[in-house]
A and B are shown apart, each in its own frame.
Chain A
Amino acid sequence: LAKTTQPISMDSYEGQEVNITCSHNNIATNDYITWYQQFPSQGPRFIIQGYKTKVTNEVASLFIPADRKSSTLSLPRVSLSDTAVYYCLVVRMDSSYKLIFGSGTRLLVRP
């Protein structure tokens, strides 16, 4: 599976838009990009998944350029409760359901 690279940490302020970029240079044709959020002492929670171009749901947007070698998770108008670790994963469309997590990006939202 394609290895992902994302910043170790990011700081932001309440009300700002946060963009977290993930690099996945070796992504394959049948791979999807998925983002999870994790709060301390809780299990990860699915945020968004996409294959190409742009996907938007009620909590985030995911931008994927044509070459799919990177992706950007966009969180609009963050609040203190968005302080968490965000994981970018590449999920393969095969018989396996395993998720390969990296170290994630620790987002700190300040007042």
Chain B
Amino acid sequence: ETGVTQSPTHLIKTRGQQVTLRCSSQSGHNTVSWYQQALGQGPQFIFQYYREEENGRGNFPPRFSGLQFPNYSSELNVNALELDDSALYLCASTLGGVPTDTQYFGPGTRLTVL
């Protein structure tokens, strides 16, 4: 148990729909990162939020957006879903002091796009 929770656990959507995934970070952690993991591959960095501001973004289109709230919980929004968006979406929280601080991952949300 890392103290990072994600909801929902599983989600099924159809192409073109929009989805919101949620993450509650570990207590005291002010940095949240989101990753997409396709089947059989390593996680790919989507973006990161530090104290409610985006602090780095990977190679993902603008239809992937996020928010971080004052309590440091976070949301990942994906618009205009495509079949290739089917994946495990992971969030990870970090204390935020040093880049080499451990990232604590949640269990993920499995998104299926039909």
A101-B102 Cα distance, complex, nearest whole Å: 14
Would you call A99 and B56 a contact (CB within 8 A)?
no
Q: A87-B42, A97-B31, A98-B56 are in contact. Are A43 and B90 (CB under 8 A)?
A: yes
Q: Tell me the complex Cα distance, A97–B44, Å.
A: 13
Known contacts A96-B56, A98-B48, A98-B58, A44 near B99 by CB under 8 Å = no
Across the interface, which residues of B come within 8 angstroms of A87, CB to CB? 42
Do B99 and A93 have beta carbons less than 8 Å apart? yes
Task: List chain A residues, Cβ under 8 A from B55.
Answer: 95-97
Q: Which residues of A contact B43 (CB under 8 A)?
A: 44, 99, 101
- Which residues of the partner chain B approach A102 to less than 8 Å between Cβ atoms? 42
Interface size on A, residues (CB 8 A): 24
| Contacting pair A99 B41 (CB below 8 A) | no
Could you name 24 residue pairs across A and B whose Cβ atoms are closer than 8 Å? A32-B100, A41-B108, A41-B110, A42-B107, A42-B108, A43-B4, A43-B105, A43-B106, A46-B102, A46-B103, A49-B102, A87-B42, A91-B99, A93-B100, A96-B56, A97-B33, A97-B50, A97-B94, A97-B101, A97-B103, A98-B45, A99-B33, A99-B43, A99-B92
